[in-house]
Amino acid sequence: MNNIQFPSRRSPVMGCNGMVATSQPLATAAGLSILAAGGNAADAAVATAAALNVTEPTSTGIGGDVFALYYDARTKQVSALNGSGRAPAALSLERLQKENIKELPPFHPYTITVPGACAGWFDLIEKHGTLPMKKILAPAIDLAENGFPVTPITAHFWERGAGRQLQSALNGHELTVEGRAPKAGEIFSNKGLARTFRKIAEDGKRAYYEGEIAESIAQVIQESGGCLNTADLAAHHSTWDEPISVNYRGYRIWECPPNGQGLAALLALNLLEGFNLASLAPLSTRRLHLQIEAMRLAFADARWYVSDPAFSSIPLNELLSKAYSDERRKLINLKKATLDQKHGTPIKSHGTVYFSVVDKDGNACSFIISNYMGFGTGIVPKGWGFTLQNRGHNFNLEADHPNSLQPNKRPYHTIIPAMATREEDGSLYASYGVMGGFMQPQGHMQVACALIDDGMDPQTSLDMPRFCIEPTEDGGFASLEEGIPDKTIAALTRRGHPTRKISGWERALFGRGQVIVRERSGVLVAGSDSRADGCAMTL
């Protein structure tokens, strides 16, 4: 199984009675079982998230954060859940300066923000769900208690994590088999995680943030040299935010607002709306040049403006206006790359898994949950079976930056879910997303263009080779996936794009997406990324 080959031909999955698309078949099955039991999209989403925590701990878990978009078919309203955590009250730039820390190592205990996933699960169910948490978590508890066969791509990244965070982090061995990663096809059980899920199913989210789980989290962080404590955990709360959106060629594309980076995807789509992309072949030099340049401009703004809105004023209406995009679009040179784009100043008027669920009534949940960098810090609260995230690594350590580290502040967050509705009547068009660090807004934009500009079905839109640029001050490399023609790569290089061709296991750079489209007839059409182990399935 180590010689896995990536080329794949998948047909889109079709059905009418509910659909789940994830990166793990057993997690897809868990979500479907909740739909079959009468649950709705919210219930199935939380069941799926918990099952993914069991089957793909290399990417996600209850020690991380969550964001979700929920479409209510009755009201045609989209709501946005921000389940991300905040920095400890005792962590500040002054503290880092006293300790002579100029840059946080990626797995340092100071990168641990309060894990928001557990509260997010409960808050989603409280607002939109219909079933009790005991029933919702039952499939994941069974998988954790009795074990599951590890899938090939997960086994590969588990091995990487075992040799990286888990080997040195406190209690990291709990997520290994005597210090090594489980192999593809090997049965792995996680009784500590089963214990965690039973505890919260019985006692609610307070058991995580105020009970013995909270005490274990605080203890292991402090033993590791961090400063997050039980008071930080007890103070945590999710927020329900107003989603942000733009109209792209008759479809309203929805994202969660900052501190998430969904803003970057919307900025890029606004820029691209000024070009006739449908007249350009999807993998042509002209098409990719425009998309890459739009993303460079979008990231220039996102690097500056994406921050915790509780700490800084973000001019979202102005940034997302068509007038602003018209001005910024003038900075795109049609013939050559511009690598050093700067953020604009609009004039005021003011390690991850993604999955998608749509139920038989047309309710949809676009859901993303992550540890960051695989297993996060790799630090495990003793006996509870999950690792703690390292989201604080995305704070800026410059005092005058909007995303600067401050106590009780949320950092710039890479994980973002997306959704699309039809502008003319507000009906659900698609629940979709692409996971993978700073690839995510780039993936959202590329999938949206494939669906809307090219009329591709969900599976084809995910199978298309992708690009990924680094959101750096100097523009970074344009990484181009195997499958993009060599002549196109050469032409992009001549236009001034620093390029590199990516193949094999490195294709993880381009993320792993899931898409469910709801046709006007009520038929659901889904795709699941061939870069992952998962699938889309229907009732």
pLDDT of residue 351: 67
pLDDT digits (tens, 9 = 90+) for 378-417: 999 999 999 999 999 999 999 999 999 999 999 999 999 9
For 253, phi then psi, to 5°, come to -95, 125
Report whether pLDDT(350) > 50.
no
Compute the C-alpha angle 381/382/387, nearest 5°. 40
Domains of the chain: 1-261+306-315+350-466+511-539 (3.60.20.40)
3-state secondary structure of 67: strand
pLDDT of residue 504: 86
What percent of the chain shows pLDDT beyond 70?
97
- Burial of residue 165, with CB atoms counted within 10 A of its CB: 0-12 exposed, 13-18 middle, 19 or more buried: buried
Alpha helices in 322-452 (DSSP H): 322-329, 440-452
Report whether pLDDT(256) > 70.
yes
Higher pLDDT, 503 or 243: 243
Active site residues: 352
- Non-local CB neighbours of 100 within 8 Å, separated by 6+ positions: none
Report whether pLDDT(1) > 70.
no
User: Cα 416 from chain centroid?
Assistant: 5
Mean pLDDT over each residue of the chain, to the nearest integer: 95
Exposure class string for 30-54: b at 16+ Cβ within 10 A, else e? bbbbbbeeebbbbbbbbbbbbbbbb
For residues 525 and 519, the answer to whether their CB atoms sit within 8 Å is: yes
Distance CA 462, CA 427 (A): 23
Sheet with 13-15: strands ordered across? 13-15, 524-528, 512-518, 428-435, 418-422, 251-255, 244-248
Q: What is the mean pLDDT of residues 84-98?
A: 98
Distance CA 303, CA 200 (A): 36
For residues 195 and 382, the answer to whether their CB atoms sit within 8 Å is: no
User: Cα 134 from chain centroid?
Assistant: 26
Is residue 506 very low, low, confident or very high in pLDDT (cuts 50, 70, 90)?
A: confident
Cα dihedral sign for 15, 446, 302, 473?
positive
pLDDT of residue 508: 87
Exposure class string for 111-146: b at 16+ Cβ within 10 A, else e? bbbbbbbbbbbbbbbeebbebebebbbbbbbbbbbe
User: Cα 5 from chain centroid?
Assistant: 25
Is residue 474 very low, low, confident or very high in pLDDT (cuts 50, 70, 90)?
A: confident
| Residue owning tokens 């973002």 | 416
Tokens describing residue 243: 């989603």
pLDDT of residue 471: 73
Is residue 7 very low, low, confident or very high in pLDDT (cuts 50, 70, 90)?
A: low
pLDDT of residue 56: 97
Is residue 52 very low, low, confident or very high in pLDDT (cuts 50, 70, 90)?
A: very high
pLDDT of residue 8: 61
Distance CA 405, CA 394 (A): 9
Distance CA 374, CA 161 (A): 7
Q: What is the mean pLDDT of residues 491-519?
A: 94
Cα dihedral sign for 451, 456, 462, 468?
negative
How many residues are recorded in the chain? 539
Report whether pLDDT(522) > 50.
yes
pLDDT digits (tens, 9 = 90+) for 527-537: 999 899 999 99
Report whether pLDDT(436) > 90.
no
For 352, phi then psi, to 5°, come to -150, 145
pLDDT of residue 345: 67
Report whether pLDDT(10) > 90.
no
Report whether pLDDT(253) > 90.
yes
Distance CA 248, CA 126 (A): 32
Report whether pLDDT(2) > 90.
no
Tokens describing residue 91: 């962590």
Is residue 473 very low, low, confident or very high in pLDDT (cuts 50, 70, 90)?
A: confident
pLDDT of residue 213: 98
- Non-local CB neighbours of 528 within 8 Å, separated by 6+ positions: 10, 13, 21, 22, 23, 459, 462, 514, 534, 535, 536
pLDDT of residue 349: 35
